[in-house]
């Protein structure tokens, strides 16, 4: 904070991210000091490195593997921060992605997109698309990019997943929608999309919405001031997107993760419901972390709830399932009594019967 911040008049308060003052200056409220990558983390065995000469800067996380030529799924990650704060090069993101790579056994490629207010939207979307294209270009025999050895050697280009947290989920959603009509290099396909505590808005309230949604609208209006449609732009409001477009979303399956105490939970679940009914041919699953708030897994990646959430990510990534059997849905309650619980729900677009299972400590009970 600058020395005269306390005496300046605030023109707009976008806490906890940003304050804009009447004199035209601004103050970013969350800083992300650089935290270096490591070769073979002593706890997880994950190695990490920065690639700053790519189209867009990235940090890569490679889990410990014994086969020097082993191919593993690629997980392209977009960080949280309301388009305003955050960095993949921060200590928090290092701890989080280091743990996530170890838990899912994926080659994580985290993207450092440009932030507001230095670069208003759609800069973050443009950077993110450029990064995905750069990553996919590694699958081509002839390409003008300088290939990264870790990606070329260990990336399984038949298993590409996109994942983001909060605003990063919004970016992930928009990219996957775009790739339904714009081909990736080598005509590669996105195997799955993981939206973690996704940031969506709408001018039409959804039952259960809170004041947190109103604040998100304010942030969105600032970050993308001239976007057609405003709060109902297809960038931020998937509920105004027609069924034909949603059903063509460019991935084979979808996982939406929400947290019980998160103000964004309602729209996350509503989006999953919309995807089940729009004609989307892939599987749609939801995961709810009980007793947790927004992006809890980023600040506490070694907590029990985070570990269970990462386990669900791993199951989603490594499962060959791309669609539920027609006519069925299942709901599984996973957890430990008096400890963390996660509600996992997977659906098909058409259903006429149900199976419920509840798993507690050491037991399986069919309901």
How many Å apart are CA 327 and CA 116, to the nearest integer? 45
- Rounded to an integer, the average pLDDT of 314-339 is 52
Confidence (pLDDT) at 215:
83
Of the listed ranges 6-20, 68-82, 97-111, 114-128, the one predicted with least confidence: 6-20
* Annotated catalytic residue, options 48, 262, 289, 297: 262
CB atoms within 10 A of CB 367: 9
pLDDT higher than threshold 50 for residue 88: yes
CB atoms within 10 A of CB 232: 16
pLDDT higher than threshold 90 for residue 105: yes
Confidence (pLDDT) at 55:
86
Under 8 Å between Cβ of 165 and 88: no
- Rounded to an integer, the average pLDDT of 194-217 is 84
Sign for the pseudo-dihedral over CA of 90, 96, 100, 102 = positive
Beta strands in the chain (DSSP E): 10-14, 18-21, 26-28, 47-51, 58-62, 72-78, 107-111, 155-165, 192-196, 253-259, 283-289, 327-335, 341-347, 351-360, 363-366
pLDDT higher than threshold 90 for residue 26: yes
- Dump pLDDT digits (tens) for 294-310: 999 999 999 999 999 99
Task: Note if 166 is an active site residue.
Answer: yes
Peptide bond into 26 cis (omega under 30): no
Task: Note if 15 is an active site residue.
Answer: no
- Average pLDDT of the chain is 87
- Rounded to an integer, the average pLDDT of 217-222 is 94
Packed helices 167-178 and 123-136: angle between N→C axes, nearest 10 degrees: 60
**Whole-prediction pTM value?**
0.87
pLDDT category of residue 125 using cuts at 50, 70 and 90 = very high
* Annotated catalytic residue, options 48, 294, 297, 348: 294
* Annotated catalytic residue, options 128, 166, 167, 169: 166
pLDDT higher than threshold 70 for residue 358: no
Confidence (pLDDT) at 212:
59
Confidence (pLDDT) at 211:
58
Q: What residues does 255 pair with on adjacent strands?
A: 194, 285
203 Cβ neighbours under 8 A, 6+ residues apart: 230, 231, 232, 237
Confidence (pLDDT) at 54:
87
pLDDT category of residue 19 using cuts at 50, 70 and 90 = very high
**Residue 136, class by beta-carbon neighbours within 10 Å (0-12 exposed, 13-18 middle, 19+ buried)?**
buried
273 Cβ neighbours under 8 A, 6+ residues apart: none
Which token pair is 233? 């732009």
Which token pair is 301? 């990646």
Confidence (pLDDT) at 335:
33
- Dump pLDDT digits (tens) for 159-189: 999 999 999 999 999 999 999 999 999 999 9
Pairing of strands 283-289, 341-347: antiparallel
pLDDT category of residue 5 using cuts at 50, 70 and 90 = low
CB atoms within 10 A of CB 9: 7
Task: Note if 262 is an active site residue.
Answer: yes
- Dump pLDDT digits (tens) for 333-353: 333 322 333 343 433 333 333
Confidence (pLDDT) at 111:
98
Under 8 Å between Cβ of 82 and 219: yes
């Amino acid at each position: 904070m600058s020395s005269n911040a306390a005496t300046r008049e605030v023109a707009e308060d976008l806490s906890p991210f940003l304050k804009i003052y009447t004199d035209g200056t601004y103050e970013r409220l969350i800083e992300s000091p650089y935290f270096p990558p490591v070769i073979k983390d002593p706890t997880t065995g994950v190695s990490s490195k920065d690639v700053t000469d790519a189209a867009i800067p990235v940090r890569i996380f490679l889990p410990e593997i014994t086969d020097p030529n082993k191919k593993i799924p690629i997980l392209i990650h977009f960080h949280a921060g309301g388009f305003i704060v955050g960095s993949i090069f921060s200590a928090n993101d290092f701890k989080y992605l280091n743990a996530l790579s170890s838990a899912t056994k994926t080659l994580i490629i985290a993207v450092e997109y440009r932030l507001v207010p230095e670069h208003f939207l759609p800069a973050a979307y443009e950077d993110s698309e450029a990064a995905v294209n750069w990553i996919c270009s590694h699958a081509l025999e002839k390409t003008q990019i300088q290939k990264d050895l870790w990606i070329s050697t260990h990336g399984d280009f038949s298993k590409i997943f996109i994942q983001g947290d909060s605003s990063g989920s919004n970016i992930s959603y928009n990219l996957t929608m775009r790739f339904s009509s714009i081909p990736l290099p080598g005509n590669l396909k996105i195997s799955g999309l993981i939206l973690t505590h996704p940031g969506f808005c709408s001018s039409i309230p959804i039952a259960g919405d809170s004041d947190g949604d109103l604040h998100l609208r304010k942030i969105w209006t600032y970050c993308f001031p001239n976007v057609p449609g405003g709060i109902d732009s297809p960038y931020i409001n998937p509920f105004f997107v027609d069924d034909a477009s949603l059903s063509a979303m460019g991935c084979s399956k979808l996982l939406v993760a929400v947290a019980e105490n998160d103000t964004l939970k309602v729209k996350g679940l509503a989006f999953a419901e919309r995807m089940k009914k729009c004609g989307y041919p892939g599987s749609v699953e939801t995961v709810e972390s009980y007793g947790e708030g927004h992006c809890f897994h980023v600040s506490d990646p070694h907590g029990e709830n985070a570990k269970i959430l990462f386990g669900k990510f791993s199951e989603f990534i490594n499962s060959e399932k791309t669609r539920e059997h027609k006519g069925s849905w299942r709901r599984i309650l996973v957890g430990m009594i008096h400890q963390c619980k996660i509600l996992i729900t997977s659906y098909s677009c058409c259903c006429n019967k149900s199976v419920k299972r509840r798993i507690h400590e050491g037991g399986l009970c069919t309901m």
